[in-house]
Amino acid sequence: MKLKLMAATAAIALSAAAAQANTLVYCSEGSPEGFDPALFTAGTTFDASSHPIYNRLLEFETGTTNVIPGLAESVEASDDGLEYTFKLRQGVKFHSNDEFTPTRDFNADDVIFSFMRQKDEGHPFNQVSGGTWEYFQGMGMPDLVESIEKVDDYTVKFTLTKPEAPFVANMAMDFASILSAEYADAMMAAGTPEKLNTAPIGTGPFSFVAYQKDAVIRYAQNADYWKDPADVENLIFAITPDASVRYQKLKAGECHIMPYPNPADIQAMKDDGDINMMEQEGLNVGYLAYNTTMEPFDNPNVRKALNMAIDKNAIIDVVFQGSGQVAKNPIPPTMWGYNDAITDDAYDPEAAKAALEAEGVSDLSMKIWAMPVQRPYNPNARRMAELIQADFAKVGVDVEIVSYEWGEYLSRSKELNRDGAVLLGWTGDNGDPDNFLAVLLGCDGREASNRAQWCHEPFEDLILKAKQTTDQAERTKLYEDAQVVFKEQAPWATIAHSVVYMPMSNKVQGYKVHPLGGHIFYGVSVE
């Protein structure tokens, strides 16, 4: 293992030295779950797949939540909000690899394939590579999308069963990336359909070259990109889970950009004349999700009692070191629809202990899951878990901290019978409250994006009503009411919202901190 990692590091250094101006090296924080973004939810995966390799019908303008044309030049909605007709861009080329050379340009067949494999349980690709489709399921898309019709080669019509206010923004999300139906057919015929996930083909600014697990991902500039080609010829992800090692590589010139610095290193980075430290309020939330299907966590009074035992201010001081703020709601305060009138659970260990006793809970033992990688909403999950462990011990609750490799952590934590409470979080995908409240807490997301396995009818009614009106004032009131219900029921302990810091070499030009959390290297150059 050591030899493999040393070899990978040496190769990265040689590549960077050989073509410094034409190569961008990103020290990423972890390995992707795979390269088919519809199958997964982690930002680590989207950074390595949907952003460099693929496009969507619609896109988010980098650095904003504005929706702009992508593979669709335009979209037209019917007056009743049930039909969306996409006019597709012509002349868009797919990548090729050693096993596949496309014989045609992107067209409507690729759109139909990319979505129907997620919707149709009988589709040949529905179960390939696990077939979890976590976003598609969690957003209620199987029931929402009645049909997807190919009007002609460059026109596709989506018909919905009911109005869905966030639908246009949702179509710019990572899960909606467009894959090649022709490549899928070729790989199915070859008996290797999983190569859609392991050897990806897209239309994006970079084509996939190679992946050495837990070490390096290599991409090449797509010279045939339908926009202008990327500003660098080579893009390298040097997978470096330790933030201190990422910092050393940045200082040594072995990488140009790194995410998620240790909070303790931020001031030194700001003082370093060779480093440009960018920062932005994160559209995120970090939380502890109880499994609300398991005793005693199926009791909201128990959950609220545990929430009162958590000293969130201490977590902000120790874990975030000034780079975060206490979270009282499941959506960030920078998002419209935020209910600032909510009162947070007070930190009161004595009251927490009394409340547990009143519910007949004593000698409780539980697990807290701590993620193995840094995330924008949690720079050190292990340390956070240790602080919560100490807080719970004060009220008589014994905690065992567990963790798993990142992909396994995400997979296991979705299970309906998962034990204990899991530390996770979310960065908004589209700037809409629905993306937090429905995806993370709606009934459709159970056993998928809803890690609390929580389905509560009064909450569900509010978020479903909010989806079906385009009146933002009405939607705002419904989301405010939903946050009241959330606070009463406490499926999570809301922990923190963070500031996102992005340190990079002063040689890097054109990088924009993206409010939706992605690290996007199209339009970025190295002097």
pLDDT of residue 11: 42
Mean pLDDT by 10 residues, the chain (527 residues): 34 42 93 96 96 98 95 97 98 98 98 98 96 91 97 98 96 98 98 98 98 97 98 98 97 97 96 96 96 98 98 97 94 96 97 98 97 93 98 98 95 95 96 96 94 98 95 97 98 97 97 95 97
- For strand 145-152 and strand 23-26, is the pairing parallel, antiparallel, or unpaired? unpaired
User: Which residue type sits at 41?
Assistant: T
- In whole angstroms, give the CA distance from residue 438 to residue 369: 23
Residues shown for the chain? 527
- DSSP alpha helix (H) spans, 154-234: 167-170, 181-189, 195-198
- In whole angstroms, give the CA distance from residue 42 to residue 30: 10
C-beta neighbour count of 295 within 10 angstroms: 9
pLDDT of residue 69: 98
Distance separating the N- and C-terminal Cα atoms of the chain: 34
Of 458, 475, 431, 512, give the one whose Cα is nearest residue 62. 512
Q: Using H for helix, E for strand and C for coil, what is the string for 270-287?
A: HHCCCEEEEEEECCEEEE
| Cβ(390)–Cβ(444) below 8 Å | no
Which run of H or of E encompasses 352? helix 349-358
Cβ within 8 Å of residue 408, ≥6 positions away:
none
Of 88, 123, 124, give the one whose Cα is nearest residue 106. 88
Q: In what order do the strands lie in the sheet with 23-26?
A: 23-26, 234-238, 216-221, 206-212
Of 339, 334, 318, 326, give the one whose Cα is nearest residue 282. 334
pLDDT of residue 21: 60
